[in-house]
Structure 1
Amino acid sequence: KAKSQAMITLKTLIINAPEELRAALEQIKGPITLIRHIAALRPGDMTSPAASAKASMRAIARRWLALHEEIQIHEQELERMVREKAPKLMKAHGISTMTMAEVLILVGDNPERIKSEAALAKLCGICPIPAQPQAARQTACV
């Protein structure tokens, strides 16, 4: 949330920045490149609106970069732990690290309490609704 909020604030500052600063920033392509450029700004003395905008944008861009790096470190560690605990499931197509981590958290240290695939599905909140024949659906809707 903090990373998203920093990006929203940074975009707002760019939109409201003085014209010459905004025009210069619009030329930079790619969000990461833009954030790194802003983080490297040198605002100088706070004697103009442009310097004030640069200082504010620089602080927020640096905060965003720090959060981005921290999140990457946590995601790498989470992936390592999930691969260690469930290597076969991680090889399955379509299962992300975050999904597998949630399943492992739900199962916990006591996988014996889950007696079937249906029980696991219910615990994860992914119970499918049984398909009904066409006639039964029409009757149910009436």
Structure 2
Amino acid sequence: MTRTVLILNGPNLNMLGTREPATYGHETLDDIADMCRLTGERLELQVEFQQTNHEGQMIDWIHQARGRCAGIIINPAAWTHTSVAIRDALVASEVPVIEVHLSNVHARETFRHHSYVSAIAVGVMCGFGSNGYRLALEHFAQLIKA
């Protein structure tokens, strides 16, 4: 079985570290990518880390995971609440998915309480900051081992 985990990040996450640090923290997306790669090495997982502001690109990456990746960790950002297309692509990929959010979306604006991804994910991490990515990687390592 493949030990590749695809980590996908949606719109505006390239602005981490400068965008609303009181909500999202001071870490940059590069900091999170480095932490994920180090965690992957420790867990003997191959980590592929991507970010896009373009929905079609995200869907293409999800499609390419089918039959190639052991799991997808996705922070769909604003697409969480708006994109049926990303939800459908995740289902079509037939790859287990863990949804990650840096902030606790349930403690924020009401429109952020709905997720098109949560219902098809094996788990959801929200409010743990960048540790949510690490926890998701650790969970996939356990799933692959089992």
TM-score w.r.t. the length of structure 2 is 0.23
Larger strand proportion, structure 1 or 2?
2
TM-score normalized by structure 1? 0.24
